[in-house]
Structure 1
Amino acid sequence: MGIGSFFRDQLSKIIEWKDQPSDILVWKFPSVNDEIKNASKLIVSPGQGAILVYEGKVVDHLSEVGLFDLETDNHPFLTTLLNLRTNFESEHKLKIWFYRTAETTNQGWGTPQMIKYMDPFYKIPVELGANGSFSFVISNPLYLFSNVIGAKDTYTVAEARQLLQNRFPEHLSSVLAQSSISYQQIDAQLPALSRLIKEQLTSEMNNLGFELTDFKLNGTVFDQSTKERIGKVADITAETMAAGEGGLSYVEMEKLKALRDAARNEGGLAGAGLQFGVGMDLGKTFNAAKDETSVKNDSDPVARLKMLKSLLDEGIITQEEFAAKKKEWLDKL
C-alpha cells in the first residue's frame, strides 16, 4: 500500500448509491476492510433506503431521504496507527447496504409446469399452464435482509422474481378449485381470478418481506389431452341437448345415427331391413323400458313433430316422407 492510498483510506468520505441499476434490489457499499471513518456522510436518495450493520448487528435503518452524519469508533489516522499490529484493520466494522424502495413493475411470470384441477362443469381433470405479470415493493427490508438475503453483497430483481413466482402456481390452483370456474369460462374471468389470487398471495408475500402492488393473470394454455377430453365431452353434451330438443335421450340419438348410417351404407332403410314405422316409434323400439318422456312424446303432437324433424335432420327419412307424415299428424289435430 502506498503512502497516498494509506492517507486516502483514513479520510472521511461520501457514502451513496450512485446510478442505481433497475435490476438490483439490494447493494452493499464497498469499503476497504469495512472501515467507515468518523465524519463520513451518508446520502439516501429518492427510491432508496439504507441498513447499517455495526459489529455484526443491525444498528440502524434509514428509510427517509436525506444526508446523514456517521459516527463510529473509527477515527481518521488514529485507527490505522492504533491497529498497526493487526494489518491496519480496525476491530470496529460498519457495513452499509442500500435497498430499493421504488416499485419494481411489469415482471413477467409463468407456471413452470401444468396445473391440475377438476373442471366443475365437465367433471373431468383439466391441466393448464398460465402466465401474467406482477409488480412489487420491499415492504419489510429488515426481515428480507435478515431472513432472505443474508450477507450477500447484492440481491437482484431476477432473484426476487424467482422467489415470488414460485409461490404463484399453488395459489392459482387453489383459486380455480374454490371459484368453480369452468374451462370455457376462464378467459372471461381473468380479472376476477387475478384479484382472488392476489388476495391469497398477500400474506405469504408479506412473510418474505415483499408486497404485491399488482398481479395479473393474462392468459392460460391447456394441454392437448385436456383439449381432446373437453372436445369429446362438449360434443356429447351438445348432442344430448339436441336430442332433448327432439324428445330423445342421448342413447336414442346414437341409435338414430346408427339407423342413418345403415340407411346410407346399405342402400336405404329398405336395404337395411328397416321400415319407416320403426323410426316413427323410436320410444318403443329404442327403449324397452320406456320412461315418462317417451310416454309424453307419444301423446304430445309437438314432441312427435320434433322427433320427426330429428329423423329428417339425420337423413333417416327424406323431405317428401317428412312432409307426408307431418301433414298426416297435423290433419289429426
Structure 2
Amino acid sequence: MGLFKFIKGEFLEVVHWEDDSQETMVYKFPMTDKQQIKENAQLIVRPSQVAIFVYQGQIADVFQPGKYTLHTDTMPILTSLSNWKYLFENHFKTDVYFINTKQFVNQKWGTTNPIMLRDAEFGILRLRGFGVYSFRVKDAVVFLKEVFGSNKFYTVDNINEHLKSLIVSTVTDAIAEAKIPAIDLAMQYDEIGRLTQMRIDERFSVYGLTISDFAIENISLPESVEQAIDKRTQMGALGDMGKYMQYQAAEALRDAAQNEGGGMAGMGAGMGAGMGIGKMMTDAMNQVNTPQNAVTNNANASAENKTTCPSCQHQVEEGVKFCPECGASMVKKCIHCQAELKGNPKFCPECGGKQELGGTCGKCGETYEGNPKFCPHCGESTIGV
C-alpha cells in the first residue's frame, strides 16, 4: 500500500502556478527527476499567464489562459516530438514554464549621466530627466528564447537595468532630434513621451516585450541656467527699467528726507546722499528719455519727410515718383505744357499757364471749366491766363 502511494505521488495530476509576488515574470513548474505528468492531468493557466511546454530543449505546446486536459489531442507538438503516444501510455516527462503577461507598472527610469544638448539660446547644455514606464510580455515564446532561457525563476529586476538603458538612449535621441528650445521643454513632455514610446516599443519587441505606458516627469536644466532664467523673469516682471530706476531714486530721496541724523556728519552725509541721488536721477532720466526720444524724433522726422499722394491720399516718402499704394505718378507737371514743377506753384514757370482748372477769359470775360487751350466763347487763347 505504501509503495502504491509513493508511485501515485510521483505522477502529477494538476499543473498550475499561483503568483504570490508582484515582480515575477517567469516561473518554472518544479518537478524532480522522478516526477512525471500523468496523462489526462489538468493544466490550469490563470489570467495574465501563458504556459509553455519544453521537451528536450525544444519549445512544444503553448497554452493561453484556461483549463486544459493534457492528452494527445491537446498537445499535438509534444506528441510529435516525443512520440509518447506509443511509448508512454500513462505519463510523460517535460518542463513547464509559466510566463506572467500582466503589466509591470510604475517602473522608474532616469539619466545616470547628463544628456548633452546644443541649444540655440543657451549653447551647450547638460540635461537630466526621469520618469516612469510600464511594460509587459507580448510574445512569450520570443521572451523565452531571447531573455530568460532555461532559468527557473526570472523577475523584473533581472531585466530592468537593461530596459532603463534602452529608454535613456531613446529619450536622448528623441530630445536631440526634436530640437526644442530648452526653455520650452516643459511644454513638450507629452509629445516627447509619445515619440519616445513608439521608438522604445520597437526596441522592446526584439525581446518579446512591449511598453504599454511611458511618461516624462521632469527634465531639469543645470542650476546656472535656471538662475539665468530666474533673473530674466525678474527683469520681465519689472517692466520699464527706466521707470523702475526713477521709482528707486524717488524712494531714496524720501528715505534721505526722513533721516533724522544730526550734526555736521549728518549734514555731510545728507549732502553726499543728495548728490548721489541727483546723479542717479539724471542717469535714470537719460536712460529713460534717450531711447524713447530717439524713437519719437525718428517718427517725427519720418512724418516730415512724407507727402500726400494726390490720387489716394496715402502718405508717401518724398522723392518717390510713383505711389506704392495706387501707382499714380508723384511728379507734378504743368497741366498745359507738361513741364515738371517743383513745389506747389500757381503758374507754370515754362509757359506761364495757371495750374488751377477753369477760369475767366481775359477777352470776353466769360468763365469756362476744365483746361481748354482756347476760350469756348470767343476763341481767345487761355494759355497764360
Contact 2:131 2:215 in 1 (8 A): yes
The yes-or-no answer on 1:191 pairing with 2:190 is: yes
**Residue identity in the other structure for 1:63:** Q
SS at match of 1:17: coil
2:164 maps to 165
2:129 maps to 130
CA distance in 2, matches of 1:99, 1:276: 75
1:299 maps to 298
Task: Give 1:191-230 correspondences, 5 Å limit.
Answer: 191-228=190-227
CA distance in 2, matches of 1:220, 1:281: 43
- The verdict on how the C-alpha distance between 1:278 and 1:60 changes in structure 2, with shifts beyond 3 A counting, is closer
Contact 2:109 2:168 in 1 (8 A): no
Cα deviation, 1:232-274, whole Å, max 9, x if unaligned, reads 8x58x97xx979x99xxxxxxxxxxxxxxxxx999559999x9
2:115 maps to 115
2:51 maps to 50
The yes-or-no answer on 1:178 pairing with 2:182 is: no
**Residue identity in the other structure for 1:33:** D
Deviation of the 1:95 alpha carbon: 0.6
Cα deviation, 1:156-189, whole Å, max 9, x if unaligned, reads 1233333322211111112212222222222222
2:360 maps to none
Deviation of the 1:8 alpha carbon: 4.1
**Residue identity in the other structure for 1:45:** R
Contact 1:129 1:222 in 2 (8 A): yes
2:336 maps to none
2:37 maps to 37
- The verdict on how the C-alpha distance between 1:302 and 1:204 changes in structure 2, with shifts beyond 3 A counting, is farther
**Residue identity in the other structure for 1:137:** R
Task: Give 1:246-285 correspondences, 5 Å limit.
Answer: none
Cα deviation, 1:289-308, whole Å, max 9, x if unaligned, reads xxxxx9977634699xxxxx
1:101 maps to 101
**Residue identity in the other structure for 1:222:** L
Aligned residues: 258
| Unaligned segments of structure 1, at least 5 residues | 80-91, 247-263, 284-293, 304-333
- The verdict on how the C-alpha distance between 1:302 and 1:173 changes in structure 2, with shifts beyond 3 A counting, is farther
SS at match of 1:106: strand
**Residue identity in the other structure for 2:171:** L
Rg larger in 1 or in 2?
A: 2
SS at match of 2:37: coil
**Residue identity in the other structure for 1:115:** I
Cα deviation, 1:30-85, whole Å, max 9, x if unaligned, reads 001274233232211111101111011111111242223156648599x9xxxxxx
SS at match of 1:49: strand
CA distance in 1, matches of 2:286, 2:205: 71
Contact 1:37 1:76 in 2 (8 A): no
CA distance in 2, matches of 1:138, 1:225: 43
With structure 1 as the length reference, what TM-score do the two structures score? 0.63
With structure 2 as the length reference, what TM-score do the two structures score? 0.55
CA distance in 2, matches of 1:28, 1:126: 48
CA distance in 2, matches of 1:103, 1:112: 25
Deviation of the 1:22 alpha carbon: 1.9
Percent of aligned pairs sharing the same letter = 20
- The verdict on how the C-alpha distance between 1:100 and 1:265 changes in structure 2, with shifts beyond 3 A counting, is farther
Contact 1:34 1:95 in 2 (8 A): no
- The verdict on how the C-alpha distance between 1:6 and 1:130 changes in structure 2, with shifts beyond 3 A counting, is same
CA distance in 1, matches of 2:273, 2:151: 77
SS at match of 1:167: helix
Deviation of the 1:108 alpha carbon: 2.5
CA distance in 2, matches of 1:4, 1:113: 64
Q: What's the Cα RMSD here? A: 4.1
Contact 1:49 1:62 in 2 (8 A): yes
Cα deviation, 1:273-293, whole Å, max 9, x if unaligned, reads x9999979979xxxxxxxxxx
